[in-house]
Amino acid sequence: METSMIRDFARRVIDDFGDQTDSYVASRIGVLIRDGDSYGVGLWKAVATEIERIRLPEANVPRSRH
């Protein structure tokens, strides 16, 4: 999935679940881990990372040292 698609999906999750976003994402990842769906886990972890990036002010976004 492209980064822009993940970003768009992350924004939709935030819009749909508001204060419950973290709980929803954690429950989705938990179900996928239980079911052994490593691809799905990877996608949802990417969504979780993008949600954190969206929430952080631009000045606080960690930059790679490489």
- Render pLDDT for 5-20 as a digit per residue (tens, 0 to 9): 999 999 999 999 999 9
Domain span at residue 41 reads 3-55
How far the first Cα of the chain sits from its last, in Å, is 24
Cut 0.85: pTM above it: no
Q: What is the pLDDT of residue 57?
A: 73
Q: Which two tokens stand for residue 15?
A: 């819009």
Please check whether residue 63 lies inside any domain of the structure: no
Question: Whose CA is closest to 13, among 52, 55, 47?
Answer: 47
Q: Are 62 and 25 in contact (CB under 8 A)?
A: no
Q: What is the mean pLDDT of the chain?
A: 89
Q: How many domains does the chain have?
A: 1
Q: Is the pLDDT of residue 61 over 90?
A: no
The predicted model gives 29-38 an average pLDDT of 96
Please check whether residue 51 lies inside any domain of the structure: yes
